[in-house]
Amino acid sequence: MLLATQIVRRVMLASAFVNFGSRGAMTAFQAWLDFLGPEEGILSLDPTDPGNWTGGVCHVGQCLGSKFGISAAAHPTIDIAGLTLDRANSLRKTEYWDKVHGDYLPAPIAFMVADAAYMSGPDRAIRQMQQALGLEQDGDLGDKTTLKALATPAELFLPEFASIRLLFFTTLGLWPRDKGGWTRRLFRGEIAALALART
């Protein structure tokens, strides 16, 4: 019986991917890249930002900065200052989009979860997605989470997910300084994701 259930799930996932497919996935991924925009290409060497340090904590390791949203904390071996947009987009695909299975999720959900991964890491983004879906927050992006995401209307998921992310932001040390920018980015992302739901 368990085997039959697993087979049904795999068939449903395969069918969903055929229906959503490479066209939908690429549209969502490109929309996310467009959302990130050129402003992410400015090198930041702010020593008060933990993300700019290779140790992930201020004054731990080297302050190599962040560029195109790629941080020294997450990528301590990369030449951040010399990072090109093409290389950054390749990392965005492999380190964030693919880590949250963006090609297998509905476009609006893939957009928002990938952006959460980009800002807070894939594991936290997956757990926040599971929380928004009412699932156990185990960080395992398996069939159960994917199927629930496929069955959940974007109009219900996105505000719940945005609320969870906003509450998380308020727990961060840089919230008093960066709350305006983070909040604007969050809701701009939700609007862009909703637009994908209506195309």
Query: What structural domains does the chain harbor?
Result: 2-37+84-197 (1.20.141.10), 44-80 (no CATH)
CA separation, residue 24 to residues 50, 106, 110, 151 (Å):
35, 8, 10, 16
Cα-to-chain-centroid distance, residue 72: 18
In 3D space, the residue among 70, 67, 68, 46 whose CA is nearest the CA of residue 58 turns out to be 46
pLDDT digits (tens, 9 = 90+) for 13-70: 444 444 444 445 668 999 999 999 765 778 999 999 999 999 999 999 999 999 998 9
Chunked in runs of 10, what are the mean pLDDT values of the chain (199 residues)? 43 43 69 83 91 94 93 94 93 96 96 96 97 97 95 96 97 94 95 89
User: What is the DSSP annotation of 153-190?
Assistant: -HHHHHHHHHHHHHHHHTTSTTHHHHHHHHHHHHHHHH
* 117 burial type by CB count under 10 A (0-12 exposed, 13-18 middle, 19+ buried): buried
